[in-house]
Amino acid sequence: MNHFHYKQGELHAEGVSASRIAREFGTPCYVYSRAALETSFAAYQQALADVPHLICYAVKANSNLAVLDILARQGAGFDIVSVGELERVVAAGGDPAKTVFSGVGKTAGEMRRALELGIHCFNLESAAELEVLNRVAGELSLVAPVSVRVNPDVDARTHPYISTGLRENKFGVTMDEALRVYRRAAELPNINVQGLDCHIGSQLTDLSPFIDALHRLLGLVDQLAAEGIEIRHLDLGGGLGVRYRDEEPPAIADYVAAIRAELGDRELTLVLEPGRSIAANAGLLLTAVEYTKPTPEHNFALIDAGMNDMIRPALYQAWLDIQPARHVAGREAKTWDIVGPVCETADFLGKGRELAITDGDLLAVFGAGAYGFTMSSNYNSRPRAAEVIVDGEQLHLARRRETLEDLLRGEQRLPDGG
């Protein structure tokens, strides 16, 4: 079911019209559907119902507290990559014991906090990190649960900036190195080997790279078992793609079924770290057309959201569907470049779109629930957008729009006479 739909020509998020959201909270504004978030999370839960599992939503995709709260209430665990994300999980009522900590550059301070809170597992990305974690855990008289993130050297066939499982990427360790890291981990007093981890990339629309990676991982599980190192859980990361335009990613149920078929009857707890497949299509960005500007080359629609609000088109040439929030009969469609107010030529959200729009119209940028607000910035000293949650007929403010005071907070001029 689509939680964003048109009723009598007007876009609604669940039971709330886009124009009401704009009236109450202004634009640009991120809008998330609670039901959509719950539906995609439930698809993972149902597909895994009869096997030991932990679904660790990847916080980086959308880290708004209300979003984390919605997922925590469904029983989600979390995949974090910084102590900032960890504090968000805690503030949202998430369970540290269901949280895994990924990322190539964890600091000793971040490890300390995660150990104190008793997280589920550290996904180690280097031999050096293992030594630091053992020391920090020792200082706290604790034992750190670990997995090693393996880079299985498979081609995820996605955009190079979001491909992570090739030898040339900075993530994880090679299969050979992993053996050495596990042997060392097994010797260290403040380390407890729990699992094996990988994450090969994002927006994958084909199952075969996942299955290739899993196949290689299982080989390593067996090799480790032969050396007396027991792997209890297998963390396959995130990466399942979504439809933005005409992609045909596998359904969540089919993705999980393929993994389960490959796992057979092995007694391994399955950990997944989905981000995009939970949040992307649960959110849109509402923005208003400030000006229309026809030029000999292009018709520009200047909107009030820019690349600072949504950087994916500029950074990855990502295509996001853009539609008017109200269909007005009898208007002529033209081809538009939808551009923001930021002083960069890369500041566009869409190019060459056939739309019947004019000044003052509200537009919706779909597929904006993941890697939208979380990648936003204050570039050009632009306050960041509001975020709202729609729940049936109800509308909740999840993050107020930043103010001009927010922009200056924490900064100061030089001392007088300096």
Judged by CB under 6 A, the residue of 106, 120, 199, 233 near ligand LLP is 199
255 is in an annotated binding site: no
The nearer residue to ligand LLP, 61 or 76, going by C-beta atoms, is: 61
55-94 footprint of ligand LLP as x/- string (CB under 6 A): ---x--x-----------------x---------------
| Residue 330 burial (10 A CB sphere; 0-12, 13-18, 19+) | exposed
* Binding window for ligand LLP (CB under 6 A); candidates: 82-90, 112-120, 188-196, 199-207: 199-207
144-183 footprint of ligand LLP as x/- string (CB under 6 A): ------------------x---------------------
Which amino acid does the sequence have at 109? G
* Binding window for ligand LLP (CB under 6 A); candidates: 85-93, 205-213, 237-245, 399-407: 237-245
Taking the complex as a whole, the smallest distance from the CB of residue 102 to ligand LLP amounts, in Å, to 4
Judged by CB under 6 A, the residue of 27, 33, 99, 102 near ligand LLP is 102
* Overall residue count recorded for the chain in this entry: 418
The nearer residue to ligand LLP, 6 or 316, going by C-beta atoms, is: 316
The nearer residue to ligand LLP, 238 or 324, going by C-beta atoms, is: 238
Judged by CB under 6 A, the residue of 122, 210, 366, 371 near ligand LLP is 371
Which amino acid does the sequence have at 181? V
Query: Is 56 considered catalytic here?
Result: no
The nearer residue to ligand LLP, 244 or 336, going by C-beta atoms, is: 244
Q: Binding site residues for substrate, as ranges?
A: 276, 312, 316, 344, 371
Catalytic residue numbers, as ranges: 343
In the complex, which residues of this chain contact ligand LLP (CB under 6 A)?
Answer: 58, 61, 79, 102, 162, 199, 202-203, 237-240, 273-277, 312, 316, 371
Q: Binding site residues, as ranges?
A: 239, 273-276, 312, 316, 344, 371
